[in-house]
Amino acid sequence: MKDKFTATWVSHTSISDYLRCPRSYYLKNIYKDRENGKKIQIVSPALSLGSAIHEVLEGLSQIPTQKRFDISPIVKFETVWVKFSGKLGGFPTEEKEIQTKERGKQMLRKVMDNPGPLARLSVKLKQDFLYYWLSEDENLILCGKIDWLEYLKEINAVHIIDFKTSKKEENPNSLQLPIYYLLAKNCQTRPIEKLSYWYLEYDTLPTRMDLPELDTANSKVLEIARKIKLARKLENFNCPSGKKGCPACQSLEAILRGEGEKVGESERHNLYYLTRENNKQEEEIEEMIL
């Protein structure tokens, strides 16, 4: 039965966690620190870079088109960066922080030189955080946040853009764009004309991707959401590799063993710093969790 408070909420991030491994999903999405009931998050340079860049670029959509670049995004980046400096951003050394920050500035310089869709009209939805009933009967909700919606005035349609700060290209089987497509279809009224990834590290324009087939996207997401709901009901999140484990959740297990250093708190998470040798996943985590 439909009830927002007891529903199982799924997003691209939680679905990816579950597909990687149920225990990985449990550690990131269910486990809570005894101390204050917050979830755990490991800070890392890649995650900090992604978060800072997203905050600066997404903030631009709040500003009218003609004034969007009146204040340099690099100036804004400097302000935002304060939140991610030092151990709070997962930086083991000052050198690593300077290097990462410079990468961010380079990305923003590229955007300022080639603003493309960011200099054109955008759609600002009433709520940044989107959600809808994936299945009312099964009490399942799909949620997420779309980085940028360009408004295509001539055809009164939208272009979904996802900013990428990672060096790696998104896996072609990723459900990210199908999920954004479903969210945009169900949470706003304009037709969706285009979907793109924008690899900020090396591209000067978004890369257009094929539009997913709606029914297929819906069935795939629904199928995984059902599995997640069942796993939560049965509390079945055991490691399929037994005690040996695999690299995907070793960093989180290290936090549970008390090997991390708590460096701060966000609204929903306790933020932990791990030494590089403990944080084997550092280079894999390239995007912010929304």
| Cα within 13 Å of Cα(25), Cβ side | 26
Of residues 205 and 246, the one with the C-beta less far from ligand SF4: 246
Of residues 64 and 247, the one with the C-beta less far from ligand SF4: 247
CB of 26 to ligand SF4, least distance (A): 8
Q: 82 vs 87, 223, 234, 261, 272, CA distance in Å?
A: 11, 41, 42, 19, 17
CB of 239 to ligand SF4, least distance (A): 3
Of residues 214 and 256, the one with the C-beta less far from ligand SF4: 256
Residues 6+ apart with CB under 8 A from 117: 148, 150, 159, 161, 206
Pairing state between β 129-135 and 269-273: unpaired
| Cα within 13 Å of Cα(183), Cβ side | 26
CB of 237 to ligand SF4, least distance (A): 8
User: Would you state the torsion angle of the CA atoms of residues 97, 46, 130, 208, taken in this order, to the nearest 10 degrees?
Assistant: 120
Whether 176 contacts 12, CB under 8 Å = yes
Site for ligand SF4, rule CB under 6 A: 21, 23-24, 239-241, 245-246, 248-249
CB of 17 to ligand SF4, least distance (A): 9
Whether 253 contacts 238, CB under 8 Å = no
Of residues 67 and 244, the one with the C-beta less far from ligand SF4: 244
CB of 169 to ligand SF4, least distance (A): 23
Of residues 86 and 245, the one with the C-beta less far from ligand SF4: 245
